[in-house]
A = this chain, B = another copy of it.
C-alpha cells in the first residue's frame, strides 16, 4: 500500500485534516482527547508527515548548508571535519536538514537546492556572501571575518593562543624563537602571523625577519624549510609552527640534522590535532575546540533564522596550550 497521508489519518480519526495537522505542529491548540485520537490513528497507519508537502505549504525548506571554502584537494581535513561534526551534532537536534558541500561545488551545482541559512567555513568570497544575502539566506562565518558585512563570525582566540605559547617558551628561557608560517586561509594566515608578532613584542623580544620562515602547507615543504632554519649559525632554540603538520616537519628536520627535541630545539604547533600524540616526542600544541565552534555556528544560525536580533557579531572561542614533551625540558 502507499504511504499514508494526512487524509488517511483524518478519515480514520474522524477529524479534519486541519486538526490532524495541528495535532502535529501545534499540539496545544488541540483538545487533549482529540490529539490522542489523532496520534493513535497516525500510529496505527504508520503515518509520518511529508516533509516536502510541509515545505511546500509553508514556503520554507527547513534546509541549511555547511559550505567549506577552500581550494585544497582535501576538503575534510581534521580541522574542518571537527567543525563540521559540531555543526552536524547540533543540527540533528533541530528540524533543519543539513547539506554539506564545498563552496566550489555549490556554485557549480547548488542551484535549486534552496536553503534558508548557510555556514561558510574558511575563506568565503565576498561575492558568495552577498549572493546569499541577496537571496535572503542567513549567513554565519567560521574561521573567517568579512569586513563590510553584518553577520556573525565564529573564530578561535588565536591571539591568546600565541601568547600562551610565547609565555610558555620564555618561561623555559627561550629567547630565540622562530616562526614557521605557511599559507592557509587568508584569515588564519594573517591572524596567526600577527598574533605571534604581538606576543613576541609583549615579551620584549625583537623579531628580526630571519626568525620568520615561510613554507608550503605540506610536511615536506616544512621539513626543508626547517632544515635550512636549523642550520643557521644563530639557530633558534624554539620553533613555533603555524599548525601541527608544519610542526611535524620541524621535528623531522631536527631528527635529520641530529638535533634533539626539545633539548636542542623546542617545538610547538597549533590546532592540537590528533597527530600530536602520535609523534615522538609528543607535540605541544594550542588546542582549538573546533567541535564547539561548529556548535556555536549552528546555534547562531538558528537564532538568526528564528528572527533573533541579538546574535553577536563576533564570537571568540577560547583556546589553551597543551604542553607536551616537544617543548618541556625535564
Contacts of A251 in B (CB 8 A): 280
Contacts of A323 in B (CB 8 A): none
A100 CB–B CB distance under 8 Å? yes
A44 CB–B CB distance under 8 Å? no
A245 CB–B CB distance under 8 Å? yes
A sample of 15 more A-B contacts (CB under 8 A), given A52-B56, A98-B100, is: A48-B111, A48-B112, A52-B55, A52-B61, A76-B76, A76-B81, A81-B81, A88-B101, A92-B105, A92-B106, A99-B99, A244-B278, A245-B278, A252-B278, A279-B279
Contacts of A114 in B (CB 8 A): 48, 50-52
Give me 21 A-to-B residue pairs in the complex whose CB atoms sit less than 8 angstroms apart, sorted by A's number. Answer: A48-B112, A48-B114, A49-B112, A51-B112, A52-B61, A52-B114, A75-B88, A76-B82, A76-B84, A77-B274, A78-B78, A78-B81, A88-B105, A92-B105, A92-B106, A92-B109, A245-B278, A248-B279, A275-B278, A278-B279, A279-B280
A201 CB–B CB distance under 8 Å? no
Question: How would residues 58 to 90 of chain A score, 1 for a CB under 8 Å from any chain B CB and 0 otherwise?
Answer: 000101000000000011111001101100110
- State the CA gap A55–B88 with chains docked (Å): 24
A93 CB–B CB distance under 8 Å? yes
- State the CA gap A255–B325 with chains docked (Å): 13
Partner of A93, one of B78, B106, B109: B109
- State the CA gap A92–B103 with chains docked (Å): 11
Least CB distance from A235 to B in Å reads: 19
A277 CB–B CB distance under 8 Å? yes
Q: List A122-151 residues whose CB lies under 8 Å from chain B.
A: none
* A interface residues with partner B (beta carbon < 8 Å): 48-53, 55-56, 61, 63, 74-78, 81-82, 84-85, 88-89, 92-93, 97-102, 105-106, 108-109, 111-114, 219-220, 244-245, 248, 251-252, 255, 274-275, 277-280
Partner of A53, one of B56, B84, B99: B56
Contact B88–A92 (Cβ < 8 Å): no
Q: How many copies does the complex hold?
A: 2
- State the CA gap A99–B91 with chains docked (Å): 11
Least CB distance from A154 to B in Å reads: 19
**A78's closest neighbor in chain B, by CB?**
B78
Least CB distance from A230 to B in Å reads: 14
Most buried by B among A93, A106, A280: A280
- State the CA gap A279–B251 with chains docked (Å): 9
Contacts of A51 in B (CB 8 A): 61, 112-114
- State the CA gap A131–B111 with chains docked (Å): 32
Contacts of A89 in B (CB 8 A): 105
Contact A108–B88 (Cβ < 8 Å): no
- State the CA gap A98–B110 with chains docked (Å): 11
- State the CA gap A111–B62 with chains docked (Å): 14
A99/B98 contact (C-beta < 8 A), A76-B82, A112-B48, A278-B245 known: yes
**A108's closest neighbor in chain B, by CB?**
B92
- State the CA gap A84–B85 with chains docked (Å): 13
A278/B88 contact (C-beta < 8 A), A52-B114, A112-B49 known: no
